[in-house]
Amino acid sequence: MSEKSQSGDNTPVIGTVIAVQANYYQVQLQGVPGIDRPVEQLLCTRRSRLKKLGQQVMVGDQVVVEEPDWLGYRGAIATIFPRQSQLQRPPIANVNQILLMFALAEPKLEPQQLTRFLVTAESTNLPIILCFNKRDLTPYATQRAWRDRMKQWGYDPILISLQTQVGLKRLERPLKNRITVVSGLSGVGKSSVINHFIPDVDLRVGPVSQRWGQGRHTTRHVELFELANGGYLADTPGFNQPNLDILPQQLSHCFPEIRQRLLQAQCQFSDCQHVDEPNCVVRGSWERYPYYLSLLTEVNEQQAKIKMTAIPESRTKQKSGKQGKTQAEPKLETKRYRRPSRRQLQQDLQNIDLEQLEHLS
């Protein structure tokens, strides 16, 4: 008896890609398993035509799986539905919001570092849930000070304690029926939050280094975990300094304080960078203005470096230097150093002989 007849139904099914490893994709199927669908997940490959079309399958994609093999738990992704959103870092599709997690202590909460994460999250144009963990390690006065400070920045943070379970109900409500990317420093409790809401996952949790005051990386790849009340949480690898891949003119839109000021009045120049331009409504003594100037200098330097290194590829080559660093240098003109062919040499000799004969005559 064939596998198809044993399973009863071999029609295509719809699911969500929850993990990608090499050329295999773990797909969570929609609906409740029954007689015709005895399993919840299938390990799938990608149809060759998708590869020919250059369609990459990402975590979070809604897909159609053809020829499901219910006995072998296998299938083939044939169609990718249009994406509502897409992130490159981490690589994930159809994200609805970002849960940005920091700790009030262990590791120490640094305003400038927090600003960098917030700006990176703001650049995605996705809603942000700001969460501070480890409130049990700080006095109430400190908690209130940080809450008031964040409201001045334009955020309403959720303060939780995974140790005492305080604040977790409030955090759970906005996660329902949404795909949420959990991001933040290593050691702030990202994996612990997922373990709390989805106990069966049992993600590996790393302690905070006593020497460096930072967490250790425990998440190695992006993966979606299904919540009991609907929706998914995406655990992402922790990092300490996210890259700012934005243009200088986009930076101001990543600060709620600047957006609020521009709603009330407009600068004199439409391309104002809010540094020293006349009649600028943004420039002032608000707390994060020095952070804005520092990040603006950084992204301007990045753009200048990109323009300086934008030399046509055909005229440059990469050469290894000291300490393994590479640098671009002009290529030598190949025509000047090309060895002449035998035919060319014979032709040159004939021309020389003819010139000598004409000279003698």
State the pLDDT at residue 109: 92
The CATH number given to whatever domain includes residue 191 is 3.40.50.300
**CB burial readout 136-148, b (16+ within 10 A) else e:** eebeeeebeebee
220 and 130 belong to one structural domain:
yes
State the pLDDT at residue 36: 62
- The two three-digit tokens of residue 257, written as one number: 């304080």
- The two three-digit tokens of residue 102, written as one number: 């920091």
360 by DSSP, 3-state: which? helix
State the pLDDT at residue 329: 66
State the pLDDT at residue 187: 83
For the chain, 361 residues long, the average pLDDT of each consecutive 10-residue run is 48 91 90 69 93 90 92 92 90 94 91 95 95 95 97 97 94 94 88 88 51 44 85 76 87 96 94 94 95 96 83 60 65 56 70 57 52
State the pLDDT at residue 275: 95
75 and 104 belong to one structural domain:
no
State the pLDDT at residue 5: 38
Distance CA 45, CA 57 (A): 10
Domain end among 82, 113, 147: 82
pLDDT tens string 260-287: 999 999 999 999 999 999 999 999 999 9
Give start and end residues of each alpha helix (H) in the chain: 3-7, 48-52, 111-122, 140-153, 168-172, 190-197, 248-251, 256-264, 289-308, 342-360
Predicted TM-score (pTM) of the model is 0.75
186 and 264 belong to one structural domain:
no
Write out the H or E segment, with its range, that includes residue 183.
strand 179-184
- Angstrom distances, CA of residue 78 to CA of 51, 65, 82, 232, 356: 10, 6, 13, 23, 75
107 and 190 belong to one structural domain:
yes
Q: Which residues contact 26 (CB under 8 A, 6 or more apart)?
A: 17, 18, 19, 20, 41, 42, 43, 44
Domain end among 235, 265, 298: 235
182 and 267 belong to one structural domain:
no
215 and 294 belong to one structural domain:
no
Residue 322 lies in a domain: no
Residue range(s) defining the domain that contains residue 167: 92-235
Rounded to whole angstroms, the maximal C-alpha distance in the chain is 111
State the pLDDT at residue 201: 73
Number of separate domains in the chain: 3
